[in-house]
Structure 1
């Protein structure tokens, strides 16, 4: 989904051509960007969310519907995903994760995924969360 303003072009979810998916967005009154896809599987529907929220906007976590499946991405700091400290947003995301009974798919020991040219630092702002049934299906290769 392209952003209307700013120098960055937006967020994306890629789906193989042979998988039928329907795109949707969630209205957050100009705060977080939430888009997603619905994938119809043989016996259930899978929801995949892509979430981005600038530091100066409200997270709008209540706009996300968590049924039986889903994956989400956030920008926040917490020791649970490898940061040295917890910020307010990290605390809010952790509380939401617990309330929604979601599993963090990231390992705090994973390699950082973001390099800031401005600050010359690395971090891991990209987080994956899933419902328990989806988390059990994921496998990690070492």
Structure 2
């Protein structure tokens, strides 16, 4: 892969992640899930490092995220400072610093415990990408948190 192809691929992957956060902010869950490979995974973590949920496949991603954030939530995501490594013509990895904001009405979980109404989070998206049929997709996405400020 020459330098122009490498830089072009990096830009394609930046745009792919930009579509991911755009679809999240507009709650377009099917479009967001379509950015993943058919068996792609998404694993967000809490601030203490514990796994919130491990989702596999487009259908689970498209249904699990909205169930978690709630239908009336307002979401805002920002991506910063990416590092993208092209491993081959069909494989790449990247890390993005991120910040997200979630605001939603008061609600409780199945056990009657209050859930947060506002969350301001900071962390990193770590992604593994694959290219198939001329198109880059997310094969694996892991969200790790450095900090989460919650309001109840």
Normalization by structure 1: what TM-score? 0.27
Return the structure number with greater relative CO, CA threshold 8 A, min gap 6: 2
Of Structure 1 and Structure 2, the greater helix share is in 2
Of Structure 1 and Structure 2, the greater strand share is in 2
Normalization by structure 2: what TM-score? 0.26
